[in-house]
Structure 1
Amino acid sequence: MTSPPALLLVGHGTRDDAGAEAFRSFVRDLGERRPGLPVAGGFIELSPPPLADAVAELTGRGVRNFAAVPLMLVSAGHAKGDIPAALAREEQRHPGTTYAYGRPLGPHPSLLNVLERRVDEALRSAGDEGGASSRAGTTVLLVGRGSTDPDANAEVHKAARLLWEGRGYAGVETAFVSLAAPDVPSGLDRCRMLGARRIVVLPYFLFTGILPDRVRAQTEGWAAAHPETEVLSADVIGPTDELAELVWERYTEAVEGDLRMNCDSCVYRIALPGFEEKVGMPQRPHHHPDDDGHGHGHGHHHHHNDGHAHAH
């Protein structure tokens, strides 16, 4: 009987030690949940271990088949290009290995439920026990990472709308902490101008890190300048049971070939206004300073089933 593919988790990376350790701890927890399945994780930049080390660890244990799941909420350039290209490089480094590639995590109903829980926790921290009237007086500002990829930014707006539907909030607005507008202060301004009496700023991040800390700092700065508006900060999603189960769902999709990537608004396929030059752009893996890569395997990811086999 053929062994199932190993689970290879791929993270973005962060300069925040606590955030990187949260990823590594989550990888260890997943391995403990499924002791019969080889599990490893690596980053594409900024944090150890690099993806190449995670692959080397598993191949050293005899693994030849991988299912890679990007531990990312939206499908931006990293998930669309950097990771598939890096996997192609690893395939050439380790002849005889094969890789199936899963899709990013959000916006999934189980993660939306965790976000709802984080809002409730923030309200309780302010002495509010919740309920319909409490939600009706609460506006949520969902803050994403931000990207130069409009499709990725649109995914955050989609998550915000899905979070709003049926939960009774006064509204759910969207902002970004980097690379895209509106920024956090502008998002808070918008909430105030729409009549928000109480705002919960909700970071759309899996783990702690530099950017979630920046969201909280900018929120506190805006709140100090607008004492007439109640502003609360919610926590990140964190290593919840829901997140672990969703990773297994994405793993199973990849193994079974049930991939549903969205290419309708991908800048590498569609000439979106202002991004026309990206159509057909070659995808190249990040160089990680801890990775003494051999400079091969760029762009040969058409066989990883990622749905973004662009003209190279």
Structure 2
Amino acid sequence: MKALLFICHGTRLRKGRIEAEEFVRLCMASVDVPIKEICFLELSEPSIAQGFDTCIQKGATSISVVPVFLLSANHIKIDIPKELRHLQTKYPETEVIYGRAFGVHEAIPHLLWEKITNSAISINGNSQVLLVGRGSTDGDVKRDLEKIASNVQSHFGIPSIQACFLTGSSPSFEEALWCVRDKYAQVIVVPYLLFSGLLINGMKLTINRYLQQSQQEVVLCDTLGYHPILKEVLLTRIKETLHTNDYAFS
């Protein structure tokens, strides 16, 4: 029997966990698979092992694992595969197929543009956009976020946009913010994060400290959240995972 196991990152904040679960359940309703479960990599429950065990208990013989992550960093490449290999050792007769993160998808720039235009009154030559990712020591994350920023700029003619990061990559969000001090009338901060959590709270604190020493207008956009475009991207990744053995563990 076929199962879908969705792996979200996890957060200590109950609001962020609920947002992630509600978004995934919204997507689940569009997929006809008999067993569908949600789990978390860290900081929230159920864990990956608990989610996997639940699928087995419900009769799963093949589990398609869909990581609900924006970019492919060490969690996607190392942490989750390591856990899945351990679980497949525990259940050797169960087929495990591992899907892809959202990645550099052609629909994402349209979502980001909507977030920008909903938050900023106008964008002109005196506006700087900072696209802020979680960050990672994995160089692919930096490359991919910069590619996404470039795609937004080329699609919508934004005069100036820069990718920056909360951890693990450079420039940091704080560095990027201070580098544009007094150079633009308006700074538009776009968090490349799925849902609420401690990271967005930290961004708000950084902006508040910055505004104590700057007269610029700083606009913080919403996280990506429950957006139809994001739903379509996740559904694309689900369909890929259900219909390919390219990522099957052996």
Q: TM (normalized to structure 2)? A: 0.91
Q: Pick one of 74, 77, 80 that aligns with 1:77.
A: 74
State the Cα distance separating 1:78 from its structure 2 match. 0.7
Root mean square deviation, CA, Å = 2.1
Q: Secondary structure at the match of 1:106?
A: coil
**Whole-Å Cα distance in 1 between the matches of residues 103 and 211 of structure 2?**
29
Alignment of 1:33 with 2:20, yes or no, is: no
Name the residue aligned to 2:89: 92
Q: Secondary structure at the match of 2:72?
A: coil
In structure 2, do the counterparts of structure 1 residues 176 and 33 end up closer, same or farther at CA, with 3 Å as the change threshold? same
Q: Secondary structure at the match of 1:42?
A: strand
Q: Pick one of 210, 213, 223 that aligns with 2:211.
A: 223
Name the residue aligned to 1:240: 227
**Whole-Å Cα distance in 1 between the matches of residues 105 and 117 of structure 2?**
19
Q: Pick one of 12, 15, 29 that aligns with 1:18.
A: 15
Deviations 1:229-271 (A, max 9, x none): 1111001100222222211211222233285xxxxxxxxxxxx
**Whole-Å Cα distance in 2 between the matches of residues 303 and 67 of structure 1?**
9
In structure 2, what residue type is equivalent to 1:205? L
Is the Cα contact below 8 Å between 1:73 and 1:206 reproduced in 2?
Answer: yes
Is the Cα contact below 8 Å between 1:13 and 1:46 reproduced in 2?
Answer: yes
Name the residue aligned to 1:58: 55
Name the residue aligned to 1:276: none
Name the residue aligned to 2:195: 207
Name the residue aligned to 1:160: 149
Is the Cα contact below 8 Å between 1:135 and 1:170 reproduced in 2?
Answer: yes
Q: TM (normalized to structure 1)? A: 0.74
Q: Pick one of 102, 106, 114 that aligns with 2:103.
A: 106
Is the Cα contact below 8 Å between 1:79 and 1:104 reproduced in 2?
Answer: yes
Deviations 1:18-76 (A, max 9, x none): 11121122232223333554221211211111011111222221111111111111111
Q: Pick one of 230, 238, 245 that aligns with 1:251.
A: 238
Q: Secondary structure at the match of 1:105?
A: coil
Higher strand proportion, which one?
A: 2
Paired positions, count = 250
Structure 2 residue runs of 5 or longer lacking an equivalent are none
Identity %: 28
Structure 1 residue runs of 5 or longer lacking an equivalent are 260-301, 306-312
Q: Secondary structure at the match of 1:74?
A: coil
In structure 2, do the counterparts of structure 1 residues 40 and 135 end up closer, same or farther at CA, with 3 Å as the change threshold? farther
Name the residue aligned to 2:179: 190
In structure 2, do the counterparts of structure 1 residues 199 and 37 end up closer, same or farther at CA, with 3 Å as the change threshold? farther
Q: Secondary structure at the match of 2:119?
A: helix
Is the Cα contact below 8 Å between 1:30 and 1:39 reproduced in 2?
Answer: no
Q: Secondary structure at the match of 1:99?
A: strand
